[in-house]
Amino acid sequence: MLRKLQKILCRENGQSMVEWALVALFVVGIVYMFRESNILPQVTKTYNSVGSYLSNVPTPESNYITLKQAIDKYGSMSNSEMREAVTNQERIAVDDVTLQNIAGVFLGKTKTEIQAMLVSKPNFEAKYNPNNLGQGNLLFDYYINSTGDGENETVKTSFKNGLVAKDNLINWMQGDYTIKQSTQKELESDKRYFFSDDLIDPKGIVSGTPPQAGDYAVSVRCAFEFDNNGRATAVQIWATRNKADDTKPNSWVRSETEGLGQNGKMNIWVE
């Protein structure tokens, strides 16, 4: 019997069995060590958090598309063509994940680290205020300069203002957290980077009340939450449509945009 077992173990299949047995023993040992050192609950929490995040990220196999796929497929389409090609709910899901990606770059960072990532100092005490949507930290303004509709028109967009260098911003929107030492304040493009109805129409809020005449821009703002160790544990990020108020000097008309966050708006907590 021992000789027979020895022959089996010496074969290639037997060798694989031994390897798998060693791996199994290693895993059991790691789990035991984590359990004895109280690390396992933290690992489980991290695993669950990652799983929860990934479950909300569009994949090629899901009904939704990623930002890169959206840019490649719809980035140069006119508004009217894009509305015919893909539903607003699918486009909202892309914009939702894009904002989650931007917020995610700050998680786990200290105030000093966050400040070093930005072109100017943020206000870490600033919070979201539904009665004053100009609160929080302005990350960037996004302008729809041309929707692509109309004879010989092409899509034109631009990023201006705010705390984020625009070459970093494009990476962060796609979940690439490369941080360049950059102060790029503006970026013009012949592609669109947001796709939902409220974020593609420069003439006003599509899903809300009739707007004032004039062109609206998109503003993306955020607020931070920190733990006792001074690290960011949550970021609230929201998008608004806004323009100068024609009826009040030095005032702005702002409205939250449709999304998957709080109260059906593009207002998201990322933890």
Mean pLDDT, range 201-225, rounded to an integer: 80
In this predicted structure, what is the pLDDT of residue 166? 95
Q: Give the global pTM.
A: 0.74
Domain ranges of the chain: 46-270
The Cα 123–Cα 164 span in angstroms is: 14
Determine which of 31-35, 83-87, 89-93, 162-166 has the lowest per-residue pLDDT on average.
Answer: 31-35
User: What does the pLDDT look like over 102-147, one tens digit per residue?
Assistant: 999 999 999 999 999 999 999 999 999 988 888 999 999 999 999 9
Residue 234: CB atoms within 10 Å: 15
Alpha helical stretches, state H, 37-153: 40-55, 67-74, 79-85, 88-104, 111-117
Q: pLDDT tens across 56-68, in order?
A: 444 434 455 788 9
Q: Which of 130, 80, 110, 53 is nearest to 230 (CA)?
A: 110
Give every CB contact of residue 232 below 8 A, 6+ residues apart in sequence. Answer: 106, 107, 108, 109, 110, 114, 224, 225, 226
| φ and ψ of 62, to 5 deg | -90, 180
Amino acid at 42: Q
DSSP secondary structure of 180-207: -------EEESS-S--SGGGT-TTS-SS
Residue 205: pLDDT band by 50, 70, 90 thresholds?
low
State yes or no: pLDDT of 48 exceeds 50.
no
Give the length of the chain: 271
Predicted confidence at residue 57, as pLDDT, reads: 43
* Predicted confidence band of residue 4 (pLDDT cuts 50, 70, 90): very low
